[in-house]
Structure formats: structure tokens, C-alpha cells
Structure 1
Amino acid sequence: MNALFEALQRHARENPQRVALDDGSRQLRYGQLAAEVDKLAAQLEFLCVDTLALYADNGIGWIITDLAAMSAGVRCVPLPRFFSDAQLRHVLRDSGADTLLADDDRLAELPGWQREPQAVCGCGWRLSRRQEASSVQLPRGTQKITYTSGTTGEPKGVCLSAASQLAVAASLARASDARADDRHLCVLPLSTLLENIGGVYAPLLAGATICVPRQAEVGMGGAAQLDVQRLLGALHATRASSAILVPQLLLALVAAGEMGAPRPPQLRFVAVGGAPVSQRLLERAQRLGLPVHEGYGLSESASVVALNTPDATRAGSVGKPLPHLSLRFADDGEILVRGSGFLGYCGQPAPAQNDGWIATGDLGHLDDDGYLHLDGRKKSIFITAFGRNVAPEWVERELTQHLAIANAAVFGEGRPWNVAVIVPRALPGVDAQTAVAAAVAAANRELPDYARVQRWLIAGEAFTPDNGLLTSNGRVRRAAVAARYGERLDTLYLETST
């Protein structure tokens, strides 16, 4: 029995009436949770499930299913609801899933799959089975396969053991000082590894309450839609003490707070990650009294690698490495991580053994006090015609911390100055072109001359995972943006710089 299930049994024994899960209309207490998990685990074993694909909205059922799969030794493949139909079919094929559990009919007509008549533990979800056995070979010890969008449209399956996930969860519980009286609000989809581990496993280890309403009830729609009033309402209504946000969600909360929206009073720890965060945005959040702490991680290390905490924080850094990890740096500054590493990718040969060190693709350094600082992506840094190295993520952080700019992609390889493709944010009664111009000018005032954006163009549509311009965790697919807007960007260099 692993540490998570030992903790669940201890909480059930010592505090059976404490609420473990709360979806807004139903509560499940610790005395009930273990029994529900055991019941579903037994059913998965009876059905001889090998690899379970889970497609469902946030809720109590999602968490029970995930825990039951781990308990039964079944591999779990969370399916992001914001993936396209083609991406979902790819995941099912690539992972070798033999069973699909879904809470709606979106995947009802899959070639080669058959709907089964039985309900799973009475939840009424749709159970489908693959009709022919899969030949996919997975790394030994794989318990979860999390899919992350890379540089192509096909998501990549990262194979993780239960031990690696729980090592991160235990470190996060300690770093955030998770405790039994916490109420964690799940804002991100549970299919996101960060929410799965940081928002479910870590609170359960501490015996806390997890508030897990449907995504629409926290204002989330798809991968990039947000109703900030619903999010604020959920934070207040659930009396949330902790939450995990991506930078765009933090920006929306900060903007609302600066316009007079009341701060959720119980909040004590908000982790922000998934993409680079502007330091000035963090400063604005702190002025509002939001307890925001930036972190850094990657799926190959089972999510979080480093995190600022109330007791150990440094502006401009992503915090100190979690205690179960080791860091070192390649000669070019690339961050290498060891500890809680992944087992390999689906459909690819096992990663070359390098004493357990994982190359992150990120450049960074540790300061004298052990805080990790990010210096950009190894593959995205460009060199201007004047020989200056520019990490585009840095410039994009400065641009997108302004409310008028929803997203941006910056370019300048071999050029005398930089250009950008900008996605404006729709603001009532505000001309987008004028607002973006003011935002770019304000960002440029905070940047050195070699990093400033001299010319820019408005994108024809938002960057989203569906159109291939954004990864599922919110990172810009720079090559895809360049391919779509390259000719128009070239014409910007025919203009005279200012």
C-alpha cells in the first residue's frame, strides 16, 4: 500500500466525518471515500481493465475513478476535454487504452470500440471497450499516462509511476504547508497533471477538503475561455484557502481586483505556473494581498520541480527545488533534473539512461541562496542582428501582463529589431488597436532596447490548442505562429523603425 492510501485509511479512521470531496451539491466524507474507491477498484479488477482512459468533467466521480485505478494497479489515461476529436483518437490509439469511461456521448461512436451496458458503480457513465487487443508496449511500472502538447499537433504521452507522482505530492504538501483545515478549489481541469497531483493528491495526504465543482461553475470553458466573475464567485462561495492558476487566470483575477472586486478572504496559498509569469504581474497581485507563489515544472518530472513558498520566496525566481529532486546544469545552461522522473514516452524507445537526469529544454541558473531562475527555452532563444540573445518568453511575459494583450509571440532571429503577433483581449468600449499600441509601448518602457517590440500585427484569431497555436498547458507554439504569419511579419521589416 502506498503513502496516499495509507493516509486515506488514517483519515477515515481518525476523522471519518471530515469532508474529503465537495462538488457543490454532494459531499463525500473521509469515512466514505475509501469505501467508494475500494468498490470501484474491485469493479475495474472484475472487468480485467488494463489501461483506462478517463474522459469526464471535474467532479467527485473523476477523483474516485483516478484513485480507484491507482488502487487496482490499472494504468490511467486522463483525457483533456479541450483536446480535439482527432487528438483524443490519437491518445486512445497511442496509449493502448482498452477501456474508456466517459461522462457524455462525445466519444460514443469510436471505430473499433463497443459500448458496454453495465453502469460503473452506479454513476451512469458510459463504459466502452476496445474490440481488438492493443499491441502497444508501455514502460514497466507505468501507472499514469499524461498527454502534453509539444511542437506538433499530436499530443505526446508521458509515462509516470505511482511513486513519482506521490513523491511530488508529498513535497508539495510540505512546501505549501497543506493542512487538514484547508479547502482547495480545483480550478484547472483534473486531466491537467498539475491539478491532479497538486490539487488532489497533496490535499488528500494532508486530510484537507477538495472543492471540485464542474469547470463551468468556476468560469472555465475549453482551454482558453474564462468568466472571471464565476471564478471569483467560486473562490468566495467555496471559502477556498488554496488554488492553482496559470498566468492568464492570475491576470484576470488581478485585473478584477484592481477594479474593486473583493479579495477572497480565506485564500492563503495560490500557486501559479504552467507558463512564464511576469514579475510585475506578481507584484500587482501582492499589492492586492493575493498570496501568489510562482513555481516551475514539467510533465517528465511528474509536474512541479521548484516552488516559491511563504517561508522561502525570491522575486524573479521560481523558488527552490522541491526536496525530493536534484538539479544541475549543462554547459549551455540547460536545466537537468533528477528524481521522480518519467519512465518514457508512449510509442518511443525508452529514454537513454543518463544516471536519471532529465534534460528539461529550459535554460536557467541557481543563485547563491539556491533559488532557481529561468532564462528561457533552449530552442526558442534567438540572436538579433546585433548579436544580442533574446528569450522571447521574457518579452511575451511583459506584453501579456497588460490586460489589452491576451497572448503574444515574439520573433527577431537575425533581425535588427523584434516583431510580434499579438492576440488582443476584447474589452468593452475599447478599440483593440489603440489599447494594444498603448500596452506595447508600456511593455517597451520596461525592456532594454534590444528586447523591445518595434512592430507588431494583430492575429487573425486567438491562439488555442484547437488551431495548433497554443499547447494544452498554455505555451505558444512559436513555429506554428511563424508558419502562419511569417509573410506578414516579413513585411513589417520593410517599414521604418521608430
Structure 2
Amino acid sequence: MSGIADTHSSLLQSLQATAESCPGRAALLGDCEGFTYAELLQEVTTIATAMRNRNLDVVGLFANNGPRWLLVDLACQLAGVTLVPLPGFFSAQQLQHTISASGLQGLLTDMPGYFADVPVFGKGEALAGMTLLLCKQVQPATLPAETAKITFTSGSTGTPRGVCLSNETQFATAEALAVSLAPLRCATHMCLLPLATLLENVAGAYTCWLLAGTLLVPGLERLGFSGSSQLDMQRLCACIDEHQPDSLILLPQILKSLLEQVDNFGWQPPPTLRFVAVGGGKVAADLLREATKRGLPVYEGYGLSECGSVVALNLPGAVREGAAGKALPHCEIALRDGEIVVRGPHYLGYLGVTEDPGERSDGWLATGDLGSRDSDGFLHITGRKKNILISSYGRNISPEWIESELLRAQDVLQCVVVGDARPYCSALLLPRPGTDVRQIEDWIGTVNRALPDYACIRRWAVLPQPLTFADGLLTANGRPRRDCIAERYARVIEDLYVGEPQKISPSTPAPSPADNRRSGEQNPGVA
């Protein structure tokens, strides 16, 4: 472990301190193998040495959740290698773009057969318990100095955008979270999201280790994940029951599905759970309230890849319903013309972009998110600046606000609100299979009663099929790509604005999902 003390990674230095004081403490446990803190650092040093011997500078990682994923991550920090995590849900075209844009010299994977027909890779060799596929022809990419990790976010198009991060920025985020969560004494964290997700990578794994905790990393199949968006909730609940973690990180849709398991199948959250962070999208206050009542200690947060993940978080003793929490100690948050700006550790730049229009000369980063801050300093997220709908009557409407309310219903799986330059708002909805359309009508009526007149949903249509990342209609974390959806369903949306709308009521006829599938058309459910 002689190289650890000289590294610039404060995370590795913290791991070494824990290994020296508690060498036998479990640091990393997977389905088939585990490591104490002492064993972890020994293995990381071995892998880092192998990387140096091969003169690797930029390495991709495409692998299942498990100890090996994180060992490679740490080894890259020790060896000074830029790591490029590749999400498992990327399409072949997106993977090819990522590989070429980042100038990979090699790819570590536990699924070499997946790349058997990719001509850029040569014969594989063993490394870190995986297969290293070396690139035949390397076109080096120009990376900002100190780039330790390139995390790819979907952006607003189907082409992934590379966010270049330093070890220091990632560590600053994890350290701020560790300081804030230390009073909870969470001893075990279970990684539920894919490790290629920066939120789980930094806020989950790194933060757990800075708290000298044990990281639980079951494979994605054990967690119930399959494909790009399928999740078997019964398997997920069984995995949580088996591991009895102290903390979890959830996306809003997973939280909603867990509540359905409680209400419909009698699942009970384990008594060990002390902290469940929810992020990745706006969450309705009622959903968080109901989760708390059912034994899930949920706390909403807010962050972005450009700032190394989380920048604001609700915490025990400092919770505000409907808010994303207060700024963490490593950053400042302010508002300029309604847009959230952040100052503190942040990204080095976008891959292949020489000028960054988001960063101001005074160090404040424009996030593109709209919000407000109350008198107690809690941040409230209202939507994306570019997503604001301006009705033909001149009213500004955040679609995320209405969508979060509609998605509180168990029978509504997906929702996209439209209405830009239109006289009223409409919605594209994906009901749960078998749902009576009149139940949806009733629910829209209930939501409308709590909305101002200009934000009420006057008409809606059934989506003929789920919106997915693979189809280019969702971002990597499940947010709708509104321009793509508007283009794909232009005819459906246009039909929602033919004639005069009436007030939605349970007695109004509406098409069922089955009717839409039979006809091959998406006629609106007109109220």
C-alpha cells in the first residue's frame, strides 16, 4: 500500500486510515466475494500496478454492479487513469459514440461477448477479474487537466454528453455528505442504482466509505433489474430484506413502486433503514409524506453531474415538505432571474467542448433548473428553464409541477404535460395495464381541483407504448425528452386541441389502452 499515501485522492487516503485502524472491518460485499478494508486496498494496489504496466491512460468500464466495478474505480484513481463508466442501458450507437469521443485505450468488462462484433476492439486479456479489450486504433481525446472520470449524461438529445470530473470534486461532494450524515451512524449502504450512475457512485459508495461503513453491492439481476427500464419489485424488496441496509438511494419511480409493494402486497421496510435519499427528478410532497408514514425514512435532494452530484439535501431535523433541502457545506446556492446557480467544486468541462456557456466569470454555474428559496434557506425546484410552457394566454407553466402531481397515482406509470403556445394544458399518459380509464379521469379531476385554472389538464391521450431510453424518448435518469416526444406524437397532441374542451368528469367517455392498440391510433381521451 506504499503508493496510497502519495496519491492525490483523499478518498484513498481515508480508506487507508480506516484500514490501519480497523483492518478486518468489511468494506465491500458482493454476491460472491467480499473485502475487508485491508484486503480492498491490497487488491486496488495490484490492479493499479497492472494498469501502469500497460501504460493505460483512459479506460472504459462496462460491468454489472459488484465489488469488481468499484475496485477498478479506485485503482484508476491510484494509477492516475481516467475512468469512463459506460451505462448498461446505452444503445450500441451511444456506446460507439462514447468509446470514440473519450479516446479509450481499452475497455474492462465482465461481458466481453457483448463487444464481440465491435471492430475497434482486439483480443482480450485478463485484468482485475474482468476482460480488458484493447482498442486497435486509438484516437486520443483532448481532456481537461486533472480529468479523473468522464460521466456521460444524456443531455437533451440522444447523443450522450461527457462531463469531465476531477477526483477532488467527487471527493468534496462525498465528504460534504459524510459530514451531514455522520450523526445517523449508518453502518451499511446498499447500492441499488447502477454504479455507472454518478449519484450512486459518489453519494452512495464514496460517502459510505468516508463513514467507515460497509458497502453492499448485489448484482443488478439480484436487485430485479433487466433491460433498460424493467424492474421486478418483488425481487428488489426481497434483496432489501436479505441485506437489511441502513441507507439507500432511490429514483422517484422506484420510491413510488416500493409504496405499491407496501400497500398492495404487504411489504414492510426493514427496521434498519435510517436514511433513504430520493433524487433524479421532482417528487410530489404527498408521495414523500405517504412514504414516511409507511416506514420509509425518505429525504429529497437535488444535484447535477456538473457539480459532482448532490448539492442540496433534506436531513433529519432539517426537513421541509416540497423542498429539495438546504445547500450542503461544500457549495453555495443562489437564484438569478429564477434560475438556480451553484458555486463550489464543479466539473472541468464537457468532453470535446472548448467553451462552456454554463459557467459564469464569477464562478457561479447556471444549472438550467428553475426554483425558489424560502426564508429558512430550503431550495424548492419548480422545473427546467427550457421546459417552461407559455400558454397562448401568456401564463408560464412548469410541466414538472403538474406531472409530479399526476404521477402520485399508482395507476399512472408515465406522464408528459404539453401546452406550449396552446390555450390549455393537456397530458400524454401511460396507465397501468388493466386500469379502467374512468379511474384516470377521476384522478385527473382530483388533481385539477388543487391546481389553478390555467394549469388544469383539459384533455389527455393514452400513450400507445411506454416511453423508453432506447427509443430516445427518455433521458438516462428517466426524464422525458420533450422535443422528441412532441415530434413523435405530433398528431396525437394536435388532436388534443381540436374543438372546445370540457371539464373532465368521471362520466366523460374516453378511449382505453386496448382500443388504441387495436386501432393503431392514439385518439385523445376528450373531456
TM-score interval (norm. to shorter):
over 0.9
Distance 1:300 1:153 in 2: 19
Instruction: Name the counterpart of 1:466.
Output: 470
Distance 1:438 1:217, change over 3 A: farther
- Whether the 8 Å contact between 2:163 and 2:351 is mirrored in structure 1 is yes
Q: How does 1:428-443 map to 2 (within 5 A)?
A: 430-431=434-435, 433-443=437-447
Change (3 A) 1:371 1:219: same
Which residue in the other structure is 1:110 paired with? 118
Residue 351 of structure 2 aligns with an amino acid whose one-letter code is: C
Q: Give CA deviations for 1:63-102 in whole Å, capped at 9, x if unaligned.
A: 1011101111100000000111110111001111111011
Matches of 2:132 and 2:440, distance apart in 1: 48
1:29 aligns with 2:45: no
Once the two structures are superposed, residues 137-174 of structure 1 have per-residue CA deviations (whole angstroms, 9 ceiling, x without a partner) of: 01111100000001111100000000000000001112
TM-aligned CA deviation for residue 457 of structure 1? 0.9
Determine whether 1:489 maps to 2:458: no
The equivalent residue for 1:445 is 449
Q: Is the 8 A contact 2:186 2:274 kept in 1?
A: no
| Residue 14 to residue 189, structure 1, CA distance change in 2 (3 Å) | same
2:396 is aligned with what amino acid? N
Structure 1 Cα separation of the partners of residues 363 and 79 of structure 2: 28
Rounded Cα–Cα distance in structure 2 between residues aligned with 1:111 and 1:78: 20
Q: Distance in 2 between matches of 1:284 and 1:115?
A: 53
Q: Secondary structure at the match of 1:289?
A: coil
CA distance 1:152–1:432, change in 2 (3 Å): farther
CA distance in 1, matches of 2:381, 2:68: 37
One-letter amino acid of the counterpart of residue 131, structure 1: K
Contact kept, 8 Å, 2:169 with 2:346, in 1: the verdict is yes
From 257, 263, 266, the counterpart of 1:258: 263
- One-letter amino acid of the counterpart of residue 460, structure 1: P
Equivalent position amino acid for 1:168 in 2: T
State the partner residue of 1:94: 101
> Cα deviations across residues 196-235 of structure 1 (Å, max 9, x unaligned)?
0011110011111111001111112234211111111111
Distance across 1 between alignment mates of 2:108 and 2:244: 31
Q: Which residue in 1 is equivalent to 2:86?
A: 79
Equivalent-residue separation in structure 2 for 1:250 and 1:436 (angstroms): 21
The structure 2 residue matched to 1:423, chosen from 427, 430, 444, is: 430
Q: TM-score, normalised by structure 1?
A: 0.96
CA drift of 1:113 comes to: 2.0
Which of 184, 190, 195 pairs up with 1:185?
A: 190
- Which residue of structure 2 lines up, in the alignment, with residue 300 of structure 1? 306
User: 1 CA distance for matches of 2:228 and 2:118?
Assistant: 23
**Percent sequence identity over aligned pairs:** 43
Residue 370 of structure 2 aligns to a residue whose secondary structure is strand
Residues of 2 paired with 1:20 and 1:486: CA distance?
52
Q: Does 1:320 align with 2:323?
A: no
Q: Is the 8 A contact 1:396 1:410 kept in 2?
A: yes
Secondary structure of 1:354's match?
coil
Q: In the aligned structure 2, how far is the partner of 1:182 from the partner of 1:333?
A: 39
In structure 1, the partner of 2:180 is: 175
User: TM-score, normalised to structure 2's length?
Assistant: 0.90
Distance 1:361 1:448 in 2: 25
Q: How far apart, in 2, do the equivalents of 1:101 and 1:450 lie?
A: 52
Match of 2:131 among 104, 121, 126: 126
Are the structure 2 counterparts of residues 398 and 134 from structure 1 closer, same or farther at C-alpha, using a change threshold of 3 Å?
same
- 8 Å contact kept, 2:50–2:127: yes
Give the match's secondary structure for 2:177.
helix
Is the contact between residue 31 and residue 66 of structure 2 (CA under 8 Å) also seen in structure 1?
no
Any idea what the Cα deviations from partners look like across 1:314-338, whole Å, max 9, x if unmatched? 11110001111012222x2111111
Q: CA deviation at 1:25?
A: 2.9
Matches within 5 A, 1:197-236: 197-236=202-241
Structure possessing the higher relative contact order (Cα contacts under 8 Å, 6 or more residues apart): 1
Q: Is the 8 A contact 2:191 2:204 kept in 1?
A: yes
Question: Tell me, what secondary structure is at the counterpart of 1:230?
Answer: helix
Matched with 1:150 is 155
Other structure's SS at 2:249 match:
strand
Distance in 1 (CA, whole Å) between partners of 2:193 and 2:151 is 15
Question: Contact conserved, 1:108 with 1:115, CA < 8 A, in 2?
Answer: no
Segments of structure 1 that go 5 or more residues without pairing to the other structure are none
Superposition RMSD in Å: 1.5
CA distance in 2, matches of 1:152, 1:347: 16
2-structure distance, mates of 1:342, 1:464: 28
Alpha-carbon distance in structure 2 between the residues aligned to 1:478 and 1:267: 36
Contact 2:186–2:247 under 8 Å retained in 1:
no
**1:165 correspondence with 2:170:** yes
Whether the aligned pair in 2 keeps the contact of 1:115 and 1:126 (CA below 8 Å) is no
Counterpart for residue 478 of structure 1 = 482
Matched letter for residue 382 of structure 1: L
**Aligned 1:367-378 pairs, distance under 5 A:** 367-378=374-385
Q: Quote how far apart the aligned CAs of 1:434 are.
A: 3.6
Contact 1:178-1:203 at 8 Å conserved across structures = no
Amino acid at match of 1:205: L
How far residue 178 of structure 1 moved from its aligned partner, in angstroms, is 7.0
- The answer for unaligned runs of 5 or more in structure 2 is 1-6, 503-527
